[in-house]
């Protein structure tokens, strides 16, 4: 079964629909972004979120100590690094947060970008867009992923209309969706329900 991460959660209304559809992960963005949440806001969202849904904290070149503080507060259960974090940074962060999984995001512009040597627990492949670290709504060439031999998250331009073909084409461990289930920059409950239903259909194929 394809895992699902719904990212950019920033309102209690968003949490309510997540509690209904039960994705595998909920994403809180702590990096500068139109979907950014403050730590105290994320704490309120985490308290309202179903305890069975792990929260993923998305960071861009943040101080590892800042990440540790949010982990220690119980706000997030998974860390996603979406900047220019190198092997030394990842190792330092792992030492600070222990067994908490780390997802390393890779912005894909060419075939060579997917050849990543990392100690991160998981990879996430997203579309490259100059000046943006994620949430671009853009898709990249999925053919680049054919040689990837480890489980990964697929992101970049996914929405209810293309999610089935994405799963059937590349068979990712997980899909990561944010702008693809929004209307006018706000999470859309109808689109989220449609997305989840189509993922279930794709998994039956």
Domains and CATH numbers, the chain: 3-204 (3.20.20.70)
Within its chain, how far is the Cα of 43 from the centroid? 18
Residue 2, token pair as written in the block: 């394809």
User: For every one of its 205 residues, what pLDDT tens digit does the chain have, with 9 covering 90 and above?
Assistant: 999 999 999 999 999 999 999 999 999 999 999 999 999 999 999 999 999 999 999 999 999 999 999 999 999 999 999 999 999 999 999 999 999 999 999 988 877 788 888 899 999 999 866 544 445 557 888 988 988 888 999 999 999 999 999 999 999 999 999 999 999 999 999 999 999 999 999 998 7
Enter the pTM of the model. 0.93
CA separation for the pair 97, 109 (Å, rounded): 31
pLDDT at 137: 59
Number of neighbours of residue 1 by Cβ within 10 angstroms: 9
Q: Which of 7, 40, 143, 203 is catalytic?
A: 7
Give the CA diameter of the chain: 44
CA separation for the pair 103, 82 (Å, rounded): 9
The angle, 0 to 180 degrees and rounded to 10, between the axes of the packed helices 87-97 and 64-72 is 30
Q: Which of 86, 121, 126, 149 is catalytic?
A: 126
- Phi/psi for 132 (5° steps) reads -125, 140
CA separation for the pair 146, 2 (Å, rounded): 17
Q: Is 149 a known active-site residue?
A: no
Q: Is 7 a known active-site residue?
A: yes
Residue 88 contacts by C-beta under 8 Å, 6 or more apart in sequence? none
């Amino acid at each position: 079964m394809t895992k699902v991460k719904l990212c950019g959660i920033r309102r209690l209304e968003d949490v309510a629909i997540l509690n209904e559809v039960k994705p595998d992960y909920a994403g809180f963005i702590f990096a500068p972004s139109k979907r950014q949440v403050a730590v105290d806001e994320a704490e309120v969202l985490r308290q309202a979120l179903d305890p069975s849904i792990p929260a993923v904290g998305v960071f861009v070149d943040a101080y590892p100590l800042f990440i540790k503080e949010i982990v220690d507060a119980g706000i997030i259960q998974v860390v996603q690094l979406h900047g220019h974090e190198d092997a030394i940074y990842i190792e330092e962060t792992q030492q600070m947060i222990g067994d908490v999984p780390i997802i390393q995001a890779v912005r894909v512009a060419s075939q060579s970008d997917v050849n990543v040597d990392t100690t991160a627990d998981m990879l996430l492949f997203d579309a490259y867009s100059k000046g943006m670290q994620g949430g671009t709504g853009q898709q990249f060439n999925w053919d680049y992923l054919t040689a990837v031999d480890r489980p990964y998250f697929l992101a970049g331009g996914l929405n209810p209309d293309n999610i089935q073909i994405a799963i059937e084409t590349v068979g990712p461990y997980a899909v990561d969706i944010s702008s693809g289930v929004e209307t006018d920059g706000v999470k859309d409950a109808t689109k989220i329900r449609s997305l989840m239903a189509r993922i279930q259909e794709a998994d039956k194929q």
